[in-house]
């Protein structure tokens, strides 16, 4: 099974789990999904002036909209481990109202150029877990490190650990209203509206 097929199976399983559960009527909400702030992309690692302007505007818009939370799907930076790019991302994301929770999702530029146990550990030291779960307004969110599905042979122990964790969480998610978030391209994503908020489908 290819990594794209794996992600498709995950998305299908989560969608089926979501269809089995509806949040309470008073739990209607929305969230904001941002992707690829990718500091250093526009002028390859020579600076990030435009990225700073773009992401600052996105954060300002989120502060006006007042979502329940913000999900930032990588790439957060363009060059893996670049201290200046990381610092600029963290500086701007800190401008989000503290009442709005942020969930970071790693992209391949954040930990997979190339992927290795060391690159994953470095990401975790800066941004926290690369796969995890969260709950908000009756919705259960599952964040995965999709690079481990794309190139499992480069970090086999980490890939096996995430797969075992994900299987256990999918079993638990069958009784919840769940959404999946990942930072790897796996098709065209589009926003959809439901009683539980705005979510993404591929």
Categorize the per-residue pLDDT at 195 as very low, low, confident or very high, splitting at 50, 70 and 90: very low
CA dist 121 to 16, 59, 126, Å? 33, 27, 9
Q: Which residue segment(s) compose the domain that 197 sits in?
A: 3-201
* pLDDT band at 183; cut points 50, 70, 90: low
Give the chain's mean pLDDT: 82
Q: pTM for this one?
A: 0.78
Whether residue 31 has a cis bond before it, omega within 30° of 0: no
Q: What tens digit of pLDDT does each residue of 40-76 get?
A: 999 999 999 999 999 999 999 999 999 999 999 999 9
**pLDDT tens digits for 92-128?**
999 999 999 999 999 999 999 999 999 999 999 999 9
Q: What is the CATH number of the domain that holds 171?
A: 3.60.21
Q: Sign of dihedral through CA atoms 94, 63, 24, 170? A: negative
Rounded Cα distance between 47 and 111, Å, is 20
Number of domains in the chain: 1
* Percentage, residues of the chain above pLDDT 90: 67
For every residue of the chain, which 3-state class applies, written as one string?
CCHHHHHHHHHHHHHHHHHCCCCCHHHCCCCEEEECCCECCCCCCCCCHHHHHHHHHHHHHHHHHCCCEEEEECCCECCCCCHHHHHHHHHHHCCCCCCCEEEEECCHHHHECCECHHHHHHHHHHHCCCCEEEEECCEEEEECCCHHHHCHHHCHHHHHHHHHHHHHHHHHHCCCEEEEECCCCCCCCEEEEECCEEEEEC
**How many whole angstroms separate alpha carbon 19 and alpha carbon 27?**
16
Closest CA to 19 of 153, 126, 178, 134: 178
Compare 64 and 23 and report the one with higher pLDDT. 64
For 58, residues 6+ apart whose C-beta sits below 8 A from its C-beta are: 34, 37
């Amino acid at each position: 099974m290819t990594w794209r097929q794996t992600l498709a199976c995950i998305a299908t399983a989560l969608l089926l789990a979501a269809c089995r559960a509806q949040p309470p009527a008073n739990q209607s909400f929305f969230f904001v999904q941002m992707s690829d702030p990718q500091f250093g992309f526009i002028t390859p690692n020579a600076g990030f002036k435009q990225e700073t302007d773009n992401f600052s505007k996105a954060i300002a818009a989120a502060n006006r909209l007042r979502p329940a939370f913000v999900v930032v799907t990588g790439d957060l930076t363009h060059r893996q481990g670049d201290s200046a790019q990381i610092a600029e991302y963290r500086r701007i994301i800190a401008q989000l109202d503290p009442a709005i929770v942020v969930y970071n999702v790693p992209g391949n530029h954040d930990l997979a150029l190339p992927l290795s146990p060391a690159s994953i550990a470095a990401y975790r030291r800066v941004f926290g877990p690369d796969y995890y779960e969260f709950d908000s307004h009756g919705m259960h969110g599952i964040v995965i490190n999709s690079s481990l599905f794309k190139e499992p042979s480069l970090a086999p122990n980490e890939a096996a650990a995430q797969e075992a964790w994900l299987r256990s969480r999918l079993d638990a998610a069958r009784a919840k209203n769940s959404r999946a978030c990942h930072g790897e391209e796996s098709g065209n994503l589009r926003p959809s509206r439901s009683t539980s908020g705005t979510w993404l489908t591929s």
